[in-house]
Amino acid sequence: MAELDRRVAIVTGGARGIGRGCAHALAERGLAVALVDVLVPEMANTKAEIEGYGVPCLTFEADVADHRRAKEVAGSVLGAWGRIDVLVNNAGRPMPTGILDLSEEQWDTTIDVNLKSCFNYIQAVAPTMMAREYGRIVSMSSLNAHSGGVTAAVSRVAYAAAKAGIIGLTRSLAKELGPHIAINCVCPGLIKTELTQKNPVIATREPELIRGIALHRTGSPRDVAELVAFLATVEPCFVTGQDITIDGFQWNR
């Protein structure tokens, strides 16, 4: 097993949006990047962009809700590069259905893709991080975890519960995985990505929503990626167990 000199990151949901931004920000800082996503052509495009920074990139077609597949992905990354320094649990999907109409299947899928996915990948990388006494984990929660949703991203109960679950997971694991592994999560507000641009409610209400943001704009994937890259690479690091909101101060949430 060849040990790569450079640090290695896994970014789930790295094909597009915020995950693609995170992959760029980490590659810019010299990390090798493994992308995990279900969107194969988009992931191939992002891989080409990442290799443009002169760092290696691997791609894995995988549903992040699949526990066994997470172990396979981590095993393949270790087989190829011999180390995993950074995990960015970014993949997630919204769920706009309210409690009265939400099916059990919608609840389960939303929890699996947004929350269980974090468990899957953290459990897959934790053994090597602990053995090497180094690791940085950043998971994508949401402002919805604090606000309860509805207003901005039209994601309601199941999504808000899953994203709030990430905060509990983060706090608990900061204690369990310390002192060598730092784990945090970020809570983005309204970020312009394929996900939000396709949402007709957000598109219609965008001017009104922006008026309620102190910085008077929506965020970009780059905004979030810079924070994630900071948490994933800053040395020394004295931040762990935190949820950090990045929303331009959305006071009407």
Ligand X SMILES: NC(=O)c1ccc[n+]([C@@H]2O[C@H](COP(=O)([O-])OP(=O)(O)OC[C@H]3O[C@@H](n4cnc5c(N)ncnc54)[C@H](O)[C@@H]3O)[C@@H](O)[C@H]2O)c1
Does position 233 interact with ligand X (CB under 6 A)? The reply is no
Does position 196 interact with ligand X (CB under 6 A)? The reply is yes
Contact pick of 22, 65, 182, 213 for ligand X (by CB under 6 A): 65
* Cβ atoms 221, 191 nearer than 8 A: yes
Q: Helix/strand/coil (H, E, C) string of 61-110?
A: ECCCCCHHHHHHHHHHHHHHHCCCCEEEECCCCCCCCCCCCCCHHHHHHH
Does position 205 interact with ligand X (CB under 6 A)? The reply is no
**One-letter amino acid for residue 237 of the chain:** C
Contact pick of 19, 56, 149, 212 for ligand X (by CB under 6 A): 19
CB of 131 to ligand X, least distance (A): 26
Q: Which of 77, 63, 91 is nearest to 34 (CA)?
A: 77
Does position 110 interact with ligand X (CB under 6 A)? The reply is no
Does position 243 interact with ligand X (CB under 6 A)? The reply is no
Contact pick of 17, 135, 149, 165 for ligand X (by CB under 6 A): 17
Per-residue x/- track, 160-189, ligand X (CB under 6 A): ----------------------------x-
Does position 210 interact with ligand X (CB under 6 A)? The reply is no
Q: How far apart are the C-alpha atoms of 76 and 59, rounded to whole Å?
A: 10
Nearer to ligand X, 83 or 146 (CB): 146
Q: How far apart are the C-alpha atoms of 220 and 166, rounded to whole Å?
A: 22
Does position 149 interact with ligand X (CB under 6 A)? The reply is no
Q: How many residues bind ligand X (CB under 6 A)?
A: 27
Q: Phi/psi of residue 95, each to 5°?
A: -150, 100
Rg (CA), the chain: 17
159 is catalytic: yes
Does position 84 interact with ligand X (CB under 6 A)? The reply is no
